[in-house]
Structure formats: C-alpha cells, structure tokens
Structure 1
Amino acid sequence: MPDNTDLCSAEYENQRLQALADYQILDTPEESAFGDIVEVASLICEAPVALISFVDRNRQWFKSEKGLGMCETPLDVSICAHAILQPGLFIVPDTTRDPRFANNPLVTGEPHLRFYAGALLESHDGYPLGTLCVLDYRPRELTERQCFALQALANQVMAHLELMQAHREQAELIRELEATRQELAKRAATDPLTGLLNRRAFEQRLNQELALVRRGAPPASLMLIDLDHFKTVNDTLGHQAGDEVIVRFTELCREVFRQADVIGRWGGEEFVVMLPRASVAEAQHAAERLHQLLATTPMLEDTSSPLHITASIGICSLIGSENLDECVHRTDELLYQAKEHGRNRTVCEP
C-alpha cells in the first residue's frame, strides 16, 4: 500500500479506483477460473456464501459469487468496503455484535449474514481493490488453516488478474508491432513523394500479373509514361515546383485510371501503369483521356501563367511467354517512338 497516504482522501480514492480500472475486470462476464476459486474457498472454509468482490466508487461488484444470488450491491451495505481499509484478513465473527454492521440490511434482513471473513485483493503497486470473502448465516470463526487457505486463494485471484493484464499488454504490443510492420512494408513499397508503388514493388506486381496471364487469365496491358520536357520545369522553376508537378500528375492519373489498375513511379518523371483485363485498345482510350486532362488542367497555378505539361506514352500487351524485362523493353521502345514523333502522343504496339 502506498506510504504516507490518507486512505480516506479523495486523491487516494481516485488513485485506487484507477488501479482497479487498469485491470479491466469490472462488469466482465463470468469466468471459470474465478468461479473455481470461489467454490474452493466455500469448500475449505465450510461457508455457504463466497464472493470475489471489487469495491467500485458507488458499489461492490462480484466477479464471481456463490450463495448470495446477486452480482453487486450498493457500497453503503458493503462489509468489503471496510475490509479494504486494513491489510491481511478482516474477520467479523458476529455481525450483529459489531456496531459497524449490526444495522446492515443484509444482516437484519435477508439473507441474514452473521459471519464475514475477507482476504485482501491488492494490486501490484499496493492499492486495495476488494476481497475474496466467505460469509455464513451463523456466528463463527475460521481455523488457522482456513485463514491461510483463504489468503492463498486471494493471492491466486490477483495472480490471475495480473496474468490477464499481461496478456492484454502483450496483445496490444503485438498489434502495435504488426501496425509498424505494415507501415514499414508500405514505406518500402511506395514512392515517398507520390504514394504510388515504387519501381521494385511495381515489378513484383507485374510479375504476378504475368504469371496469371501464363495460366490463362484475360489479357493485360502495360503503359509507360514520360512527362515531356520535365527537366525544363526543374531548371526554370526549381525542384520544389517540379515535385508539385509530379504530385499533381499523380492525382490526374488516379482520376483517369480504374481502381483495379496499378500505377507506379518508375523513376524521375517516368510513370508506369499496368491495366489488368484490358486490351491495348482499351489502354489507349485511357491514355487519350489522360492527354485530354493534361491539356485542360494546369499543373501549377501560382506562376505568372498557368503551367501545362504534356506526356509521351508507350503501350503494349502483356504476353505470358515474355519475362518482365522483355515486356518493359517493348513498352520502352514504343515510348521512344512517341518521343521521336514529336512527343505529346501515344504509340501502341501494332
């Protein structure tokens, strides 16, 4: 129990209640592990009533009970509320002879409780949380062996609470580690500026699609895009403006391409798009929509005049008999032809 603390102070009570809340035990369903402890306490102490009781702000709540027939009572009729104010066992041989409990409605009326013995349930940092208690309908005492057993069982209650708390903390740690792992995997697979797949991650996805095509999946298309004269943007407006253009172009790509299409940043001002279940003709229609959007959408608006850019695009179909390098090489040759023929155009394989 914390030293030099007024056990009746509001500050101490708030700390105690927080310690109780940290165990996340209140209002939880019945559990056999606690029910077994109550049964053993009742058997060893030869008591018809046994409880695992936690003292909350305005009530005492029973995690497990035998013989009482209720799951909680108001705090003002709680004998356990007195028991947690002192260490060790709290024993009341005859409640009718104790002025603290003689007028208690559970003593004067049903179920006419006459005997109480409670072993303290104490948190690892010393706060009293409640008791493991046994009660009887007649005045009596506990033997020395029964007292020892009751305290030992109370220790088992706390050991189980600590284990449950450790499991929750472990589960939370595992969730945090998994979230971190997923975040690291995402960072390893995405381009930090655009959030698109980076080259390595795109190659992995492209290899998966090639494998599907080899097994008879519908055709897919590959598109390689290069922003025309992008170096001029960097040279005249600076690299920050160039980054803004790259980000804006990425946004346009997300508007044009389907959710199923896979967009990646191939490097610098080059982008790559894989279109599953799409013919070259269908991919060409998407490329034309991109050209039209570029023609009407300024990439930068805070310059002396709105900046527009164009793009050169090469498109080929994915052939299952080819490997990744061969598919990319064919698409790159088509992109080169688009540049050679004046840029701002799309060249598709025949």
Structure 2
Amino acid sequence: MGKQNDLCSAEYEHQRLQALADYRILDTPEEPVFDDIVELASLICEAPIAVINFIDCHRQWFKSEKGLGVRETPLDISICAHAILQPGLFIVPDTTQDPRFANNPLVTGEPYLRFYAGALLESRDGYPLGTLCVLDYQPRDLTQRQCFALQTLANQVMAHLELMQAHRQQAELIRELEATRDELARHASTDPLTGLLNRRAFEQRLQQEVALMQRGASSSSLMLIDLDHFKTVNDTLGHKAGDEVIVRFAYMCREVFRQADVIGRWGGEEFVVMLPRASVMEAERAAERLRQTLESTPMVDTATPPLYVTASIGVCSLNGASSMDECLHRTDELLYQAKENGRNCTVCEQEKVEVR
C-alpha cells in the first residue's frame, strides 16, 4: 500500500523522470538492436504491433515501433502509463471491457486496439521507465511462454540501456582523466608565476629543435635575456613588486615575439627564447623591439616614480652542428658580454658567411 502511495507522489514522479533522463534515450534515433527486439516480440507474441516506449512527463515516446507508424503519442491516451504503475506484466485481454480504456480514442477509433500486454522497463534503482508492449486488433491473451519471452526481451532492453550508459560514463571518465593528465602535464612544464615554459620543458623543446635541424631542418636562433639590476627591485620595492615585474615582462615577451617562437623562464630574472627558422639578424631585430618596449613601459603600477627596467640580451645561431648544451653555453657567454658592455644592450654571435 505504501509503495502505491509513493508511485502517486510528485516527488516520486520527479525521481522517476530523472532516472529516465539519466539514460539519455529520449529523442534518440532508431537503432537496429532495439528494432530487432521489437520484431522478435511481435513474432513470438504473434502480435501485429510491438513497441518499446518510455513514459515522459507529457508524452509516451517510442524508441522503436512496429505497426503504429508514429514515434510518440499524448500521455493522456497511453495504456502504458497505467502499465508502469504496477510490477511485472500488465495484460488487458479486451480493452472494450476494461473501464480504464473502453473510451480511449485508440480503442473507440483508429487503430481500434483491443489487446494489450506490456512488460515493465525498470531502472536498476526500481523506477518504471516504460514498457516493451505488444498490441492486437482482436481480444486475446498470451501463453505462459509468450509472457516469459516478453519479460525476457524487456530485460534485454534494459540491459542494453545499462550498457549504453556504462559506455557513456566510461567515455566521460576517460575524457576527465585525459583532461587531468593534460593539466598535470601543463603544470609540470610551465613556470607557475608566468605561465611560460619552465627550464626543463624548454630544454626538451630545444632538444627537439636541434634534432630536427640535424635531420635537415632550417637553422634557428637562441636568445638569453637577463633583467638588469633585478635584485634592486626586490630590495627596494619588495618581492611582490618583483613578481609583478616578472609577470609583466613575460606578457611583454608574448606580445613582441612571434607565435611560433618558444619562450621560457630560465630561472629568476632570466628568460630564454628560441626563434625557429630565424637568422641571428632577425633575432637581433626582435631583441631590439623588446628593449624599446621596455624603455616605454612602466613595470610596477604602484611605483612612484614609475619603474622602468632594462635587459641584457645574448643571441646565437642554433643549428644541427652543435649540441644543445653547446648552444646554451655560447648564448650564455654572449649574455655575459652584454653585461660587461654596460648592460641594456644586445650582443649577437657573428654569423658565418659562406664563400663561394
């Protein structure tokens, strides 16, 4: 008695509809596996009409049907809406003799339904979702074997729905795991303050570029940048202001360099840039654009007077003839020369000119 009262409650109906929605079956296209079950139910039960239907809020929707020619009907004329209110098979041998259906438009008019048998489609939580039903134009009944087969086929409908749901959940879990993996990889490869590549990730990318050049790819350029007198910023304005300078400089680099250029934070106030397929002369021009931008850009919003910083830059060629470590060592030496020359300047490696 308590169960029947629960079936009539608004809260129960809300939970039932949510259970139905969780299967994501409503308004999906026809599928052979469900069509085959309907054909088999029609054949076994010797019924001209067979339907897999789900009872939605205001309609009865058919996932698969044989003999009706429609995909949904209003809920107020649904026989299946009564079937889901009780467990097991719901059989109406003669609809004209049942007061619940004698005046139903589907009984008194086309298609003049006289017989109904529906096996419950029940979620694993016990919510009735719809039925696998067979219908006929003549009053009749089902044999015991036909009843067993109809319920077994209904169980197969639910087994397939569960399998589809499990596949969706598995796919969603895989997507979440891949997103988590990508996020972890991003955190492992980026500098937390600037979002640029960290030293390890930059070295890996640089090693890849050197390997490509060793196989014939065009030469590139490598640039090492050091913010001049950065310790003074931390000492006078504090580390928060120092972090602001680092972040603003990283943003500036993204604006100045090409999208194809690879930018990394080498450590502290040092930054490194790889410029694929760029000559030393082209890299030098990019370095000068960076220094000019620095000259006109205050680096700390709260500083009075405005704080400007300068940078010393070393630029060398990057080709397959040298190892990654050799290229980094040469660039570091060029940066050191820039500092020796008074800072706020760029020192470039002399490009070799082929004599023909």
Give the TM bin, normalised by the shorter chain.
over 0.9
Count of residues in Structure 1 that have an aligned counterpart in Structure 2: 350
- Cα distance, 1:12 vs. partner? 1.6
- In structure 2, give the amino acid aligned to 1:171: A
- Report the equivalent of 1:43: 43
- Report the equivalent of 1:103: 103
- Report the equivalent of 1:151: 151
- In structure 2, give the amino acid aligned to 1:300: V
1:178-197 alignment, distance < 5 Å: 178-197=178-197
- Report the equivalent of 1:58: 58
1:227 matched to 2:227? yes
- For residues 4 and 105 of structure 1, the distance between their equivalents in structure 2, rounded to whole angstroms, comes to 27
- Cα distance, 1:241 vs. partner? 1.2
Residues 5 and 304 of structure 1, relative CA distance in 2, 3 Å threshold: farther
1:168 matched to 2:168? yes
User: Given that residues 115 and 138 in structure 2 are in contact (C-alpha distance below 8 angstroms), is that contact kept between their aligned partners in structure 1?
Assistant: yes
User: Given that residues 41 and 134 in structure 1 are in contact (C-alpha distance below 8 angstroms), is that contact kept between their aligned partners in structure 2?
Assistant: yes
Deviation readout 1:5-52 (Å, 9 max, x if unpaired): 532222221111111111100000111111111111111111111100
- Cα distance, 1:216 vs. partner? 2.3
- For residues 166 and 3 of structure 1, the distance between their equivalents in structure 2, rounded to whole angstroms, comes to 29
1:278 matched to 2:286? no
- Report the equivalent of 1:20: 20
Structure 2 unaligned spans of 5+: 351-356
- In structure 2, give the amino acid aligned to 1:291: R
- In structure 1, give the amino acid aligned to 2:99: P
- Cα distance, 1:248 vs. partner? 0.6
User: Given that residues 219 and 320 in structure 2 are in contact (C-alpha distance below 8 angstroms), is that contact kept between their aligned partners in structure 1?
Assistant: no
Residues 46 and 4 of structure 1, relative CA distance in 2, 3 Å threshold: closer
- For residues 213 and 12 of structure 1, the distance between their equivalents in structure 2, rounded to whole angstroms, comes to 68
Deviation readout 1:240-276 (Å, 9 max, x if unpaired): 1111110011111111101011000011110000001
- For residues 194 and 293 of structure 2, the distance between their equivalents in structure 1, rounded to whole angstroms, comes to 19
- In structure 1, give the amino acid aligned to 2:280: V
- Report the equivalent of 1:204: 204
Deviation readout 1:90-148 (Å, 9 max, x if unpaired): 00000011111111111111111100000111111111100000001100011111111
Q: Which moved more, 1:300-309 or 1:273-282?
A: 300-309
- For residues 4 and 234 of structure 1, the distance between their equivalents in structure 2, rounded to whole angstroms, comes to 74
User: Given that residues 5 and 12 in structure 1 are in contact (C-alpha distance below 8 angstroms), is that contact kept between their aligned partners in structure 2?
Assistant: no
- For residues 216 and 151 of structure 2, the distance between their equivalents in structure 1, rounded to whole angstroms, comes to 71
- For residues 217 and 150 of structure 2, the distance between their equivalents in structure 1, rounded to whole angstroms, comes to 70
- Report the equivalent of 1:290: 290
- For residues 314 and 208 of structure 1, the distance between their equivalents in structure 2, rounded to whole angstroms, comes to 21
- For residues 62 and 290 of structure 1, the distance between their equivalents in structure 2, rounded to whole angstroms, comes to 66
1:307 matched to 2:303? no
- For residues 147 and 195 of structure 1, the distance between their equivalents in structure 2, rounded to whole angstroms, comes to 66
- Cα distance, 1:320 vs. partner? 0.9
SS in structure 2 of the partner of residue 231 of structure 1: helix
- In structure 2, give the amino acid aligned to 1:217: A
- In structure 2, give the amino acid aligned to 1:192: P
- Cα distance, 1:301 vs. partner? 2.5
User: Given that residues 121 and 128 in structure 2 are in contact (C-alpha distance below 8 angstroms), is that contact kept between their aligned partners in structure 1?
Assistant: yes
- Report the equivalent of 1:266: 266
The alignment's C-alpha RMSD in Å is 1.3
- For residues 32 and 4 of structure 1, the distance between their equivalents in structure 2, rounded to whole angstroms, comes to 36
SS in structure 1 of the partner of residue 53 of structure 2: strand
SS in structure 2 of the partner of residue 87 of structure 1: coil
- For residues 244 and 149 of structure 1, the distance between their equivalents in structure 2, rounded to whole angstroms, comes to 73
1:332-347 alignment, distance < 5 Å: 332-347=332-347
- Cα distance, 1:230 vs. partner? 0.6
- For residues 301 and 202 of structure 1, the distance between their equivalents in structure 2, rounded to whole angstroms, comes to 30
- Cα distance, 1:3 vs. partner? 4.8
- TM-score, reference length from structure 1: 0.98
SS in structure 2 of the partner of residue 7 of structure 1: helix
- Report the equivalent of 2:240: 240
1:113-132 alignment, distance < 5 Å: 113-132=113-132
- Cα distance, 1:73 vs. partner? 0.7
SS in structure 1 of the partner of residue 7 of structure 2: coil
- For residues 90 and 320 of structure 2, the distance between their equivalents in structure 1, rounded to whole angstroms, comes to 80
User: Given that residues 224 and 313 in structure 2 are in contact (C-alpha distance below 8 angstroms), is that contact kept between their aligned partners in structure 1?
Assistant: yes
- Cα distance, 1:300 vs. partner? 0.8
- Cα distance, 1:155 vs. partner? 0.8
- For residues 25 and 244 of structure 2, the distance between their equivalents in structure 1, rounded to whole angstroms, comes to 53
SS in structure 1 of the partner of residue 342 of structure 2: coil
SS in structure 2 of the partner of residue 70 of structure 1: coil
- Cα distance, 1:319 vs. partner? 2.2
User: Given that residues 101 and 107 in structure 2 are in contact (C-alpha distance below 8 angstroms), is that contact kept between their aligned partners in structure 1?
Assistant: yes
Structure 1 unaligned spans of 5+: none
- Report the equivalent of 1:329: 329
- TM-score, reference length from structure 2: 0.96
- In structure 1, give the amino acid aligned to 2:227: L
